[in-house]
Structure 1
Amino acid sequence: MHVISVPQAFNEEELYVDLRPTLGCPLFLKCEGFNFAGSVKLKAATEMVESAEREGILTPGSTLVESSSGNLGVALSVIAASKGYRFVCVTDSRCNLATRLMMEALGSEVHVITGHEDNGSFLTARLDYVRRLCARDPRYVWLSQYTNPANWRAHYNRTAPAIARAFPNLDVLFVGTGTTGTLMGCARWFSRWHRPVTVVAVDSVGSVTFGGAPGRRMIPGLGMSVRPPLLDESFVDEAVCVEEKDTIRTCRLLARRGFLFGGSTGTVVGGATQWLARHDTAGLTAVAIAPDLGERYLDTIYQTNWVEGLFGEDTGLQLLGPDPLDAP
């Protein structure tokens, strides 16, 4: 029985989905979306806010400000409402409408950036706006999820140990990469474990995190238009990049089994499936981290008009592909 007085006090750590019946490969999915922010970002948000409070950076009367494509913005909105801080989220047009409405319902102010770079990135414009706010008013406190070590410490202290307790014979861990906070926290922790674990980073095509060419990315969450300052590739064994079509296909396939996950989860599972298809999986214990749930993507990933607008009318529900259970 859980009894809490603040929303950030609850996060389901022990829920996993066995995806073998759906995907035909050995993969357990750690579901991080069952908390009051609906994503894994509640952990990082909590750690960053509490660290800033301990250090005296964040005090009563401070205004939190952060650049976010969505999930961290919701997490900080939850915490700001709980603790009585004002919060300004600087996002861009890719942020789902449901996500923006959630932040506003929680009392946050949402500023949507419209200008972007030639490669389609909004990040530089978002960060410039945050810097201008902080320069104009000393009450603004920027936690800077992109550079804040509390981001990865949250997962070093909580996420990785939880996985190790559940899977003492873990062989492979798949982690999505945005700011790389989840990746770095888990990879650092498992680098010191009693047995070797292959850490596979899963990124989006169009992201430059692992040296890929910059390109259009329409699904918020994973990927970066600049190299993440938190990333230390010495802790990462491999990286897999996933096309957005495959993200959508994976999300819709999982939905056909009753599991409505978000875009970041679809990318991670898609990347894990690709990796597992290329390797001998006999006796392999593999876990992927599912960062989010799917309700915020009902008007994008799960909306046929949105998908056809991006990829053409010939895609539509064909993106589901064949049902693996129908295979001979």
Structure 2
Amino acid sequence: MPIISAPHQFNEHDLFVDLRASLGVPLYLKCEGMNFAGSIKQKAAVSMIEAAERAGRLRPDSVLVESSSGNLGVALSLMAASMGYQFLCVTDSRCNLGARRLMEVFGARVHTVTEADPVTGLLGARLDHVRRLLDSDDRYVWLNQYQNPENWGAHHRWTAPAIAESFPDLDVLFVGAGTTGTLMGCARWFKEHRPGVRIVAVDSAGSVSFGGPAAPRWIPGLGSGVRPAMLDEAYVDDVRIVEEVDTVRMCHRLAARGFLFGGSTGTAVAGAAAWLAEHDPEGRLTAVTLSPDLGERYLDTVYQTNWVQDIYGNAVLDDIRHPAEHAVKVPAMSA
């Protein structure tokens, strides 16, 4: 039985959902929301703060600052509360109310950027705000998840080996792309240790990460308005782009079977299901994707009828009410 003295000391590494029963898709979903931060971002938060301490960057009066769309902000808030640091999160209007409230409960301050940069969007505006804070006070310490090697290093150290241990016959791994920390950590590990595993990045439509045109995005987590500094496409075998309406549909399909996951999970599963339908129609491959978080923080957005209707229109609500008509058809796995 686990006994801990700090919240970040617990993380469930080995929980997978076989989605064949729920979706008819030959895909295993690694659930990363089973920790006190509620998301995969706890790993990066632990890794980045501990590295900053080892490097002597943190003093007793230091104020951690980070740009986050939600989950990393919650994880850093939890860590700061546990370790006695102050924390300021710079987010934007897409951040879920539940995530902002959680950060504040842990004692963090939250600055919300509402005006997008005309070129780099809301993310660029957030980063500009962080730089202004750094210039204003030398107590601020920016962990910089976008360039910090401890971001991808956490997944190279923990996430990828856990997947490999559970699935020694893995053929393809689907990883959602945000900062690309999870993607690059997993991709680097598998290219080093299991180069036969195919790495497929899943990104949101409207993200510029893989060269697509910028467009408004409403669901936080995956995607970026600025090309991720950590991204090295040499480690990525394929890319699947997912429209947000398909993210919403997939989240509701999973909820209808009792699995309440976050928006990034809906994107990852929708992208993986579409890729498998195209590349593995007989269901012979062993495939895994990751669920970064659970769905409670999305009750006011992805799972709220008025929000979905206002953003995506009535047609999506019809799809949700009649999911069988819009399901991705993937044959059962061969015996």
TM class by shorter chain equals over 0.9
Question: Alignment partner of 1:90: what SS?
Answer: strand
1:170-199 Cα distance to aligned partner (Å, 9 max, x none): 000000000000000000000012450000
Distance 1:325 1:60 in 2: 53
1:306 equivalent in structure 2: 307
**Contact kept? 2:120, 2:226, Cα under 8 Å:** no
Change (3 A) 1:246 1:282: closer
The 10-residue stretch of structure 1 (19-28 or 218-227) with the greater mean CA deviation from structure 2: 19-28
Distance 1:24 1:162 in 2: 25
Which runs of structure 2 are paired with 1:153-302 in the superposition (5 Å)? 153-194=153-194, 196-280=196-280, 281-302=282-303
Question: Alignment partner of 2:314: what SS?
Answer: coil
1:202-255 Cα distance to aligned partner (Å, 9 max, x none): 000000000100000000000011110000000000000100000000000000
Change (3 A) 1:196 1:321: farther
1:264-308 Cα distance to aligned partner (Å, 9 max, x none): 111000100010000124431100011010000000000010000
Distance 2:122 2:85 in 1: 26
Q: Which runs of 5+ in 1 are unaligned?
A: none
Kindly state the Cα deviation for residue 61 of structure 1 after the two structures are TM-superposed. Answer: 1.4
**Contact kept? 2:283, 2:330, Cα under 8 Å:** no
TM-score scaled by structure 2?
A: 0.95
Distance 1:116 1:222 in 2: 18
**Contact kept? 2:94, 2:219, Cα under 8 Å:** yes
What percentage of aligned pairs have identical amino acids? 62
1:322 equivalent in structure 2: 323
Distance 2:188 2:90 in 1: 30
Change (3 A) 1:139 1:284: same
Distance 2:120 2:227 in 1: 16
In the alignment of these two chains, the number of paired residues is 328
Question: Alignment partner of 2:193: what SS?
Answer: coil
Letter in 2 for 1:310: I
Change (3 A) 1:327 1:78: closer
TM-score scaled by structure 1?
A: 0.97
2:23 equivalent in structure 1: 23
Kindly state the Cα deviation for residue 23 of structure 1 after the two structures are TM-superposed. Answer: 1.8
Kindly state the Cα deviation for residue 325 of structure 1 after the two structures are TM-superposed. Answer: 11
**Contact kept? 2:277, 2:329, Cα under 8 Å:** no
Distance 2:66 2:85 in 1: 13
1:109-152 Cα distance to aligned partner (Å, 9 max, x none): 01111111347821111111111111111110000000101000
2:65 equivalent in structure 1: 65
1:62-120 Cα distance to aligned partner (Å, 9 max, x none): 10000000000000001000001000000011000011000000100011111113478
Distance 1:230 1:320 in 2: 40
